[in-house]
Amino acid sequence: MPVTRPGGPRCTGRSLDSRVRPGALSWREAVFGSRRWKDEGMTEFQASERHAQLLAYAQSLSPPSGWKVEVSGDEIIVMAGPSVIHQRNLLVVREQFDAHRPADLMPSENTDLASPNVGKLRNPDLAYIPIAVVEPGGNDVPAELAAIAVEIVSPSNPENDLVGKVRDYPLMDIPLYLLIDPRDGVITLYSDPASGAYHQQWNAGFGDTVPVPEPFAFDLATDNLVRYPV
């Protein structure tokens, strides 16, 4: 049965042995008890403070290597590590971006992009962030400083990339979102975020060339991307 911590998010997955509250929920309970928590009674007046609490709680977790914790609005999302095909496709993309990245940007596959003002914490498969913002001991970066977010769609939870992040990334002022879907061999490059939405998108298939704008300014080759088995 669902478990709720006092004044906090409702656990909508399998039941837990203890109440879900910051400092009391073990990582094993978080992962195997539920994949999401949702706060269903939050008022608009409470939203900003609530989002701050959820962000702080998510950032206090210590996931095992390969796991991700994200926050989208009123939900904490826990995701398992990627498949070999996922990693191979990411390598194909990263090698090309690395060859064209500006000197003041660095690649990262394990950086939390935080937007407390809109209640978002996302950890893209690949992002390019300013070297200057990296601080010793820190692992989160203001999302609006990222030059691009790249995601390889997961077959187990495609809606997170196809719906959730298409919604969240423009709200977080991330200028470019490259979405690669190995299920259907489809690529979408979103750009021009304004008023909470992307206003431009480039659609392509595996094997096509994708024009990546500044600050990278190159044509992304996709011939070596691999689709998931049927």
Question: 192 versus 54: which is more confidently predicted?
Answer: 192
Total structural domains in the chain? 2
Side by side, the strands of the sheet bearing 105-108 are: 105-108, 126-130, 148-152, 176-181, 186-194, 197-205
| Residues 89 and 168 reside in one and the same domain | yes
Confidence of residue 136 (pLDDT cuts 50, 70, 90): low
Question: Could you give the dihedral angle defined by the CA atoms of residues 14, 15, 18 and 23, in that order, rounded to the nearest 10 degrees?
Answer: 20
| Residues 72 and 121 reside in one and the same domain | no
Residue-range definition of the domain harbouring residue 123: 84-221
Which of 40, 63, 79 is where one domain is finished? Answer: 79
Contact 158, 187 (CB under 8 A): no
Q: 141 lies in a domain?
A: yes
Q: Flag whether pLDDT at 46 surpasses 60.
A: no
Q: Flag whether pLDDT at 175 surpasses 90.
A: yes
Percent of the chain's residues with pLDDT above 70: 68
147-162 pLDDT per residue, tens: 999 999 988 889 989 9
| Residues 105 and 146 reside in one and the same domain | yes
Q: Average pLDDT of 38-58?
A: 58
Q: Flag whether pLDDT at 3 surpasses 70.
A: no
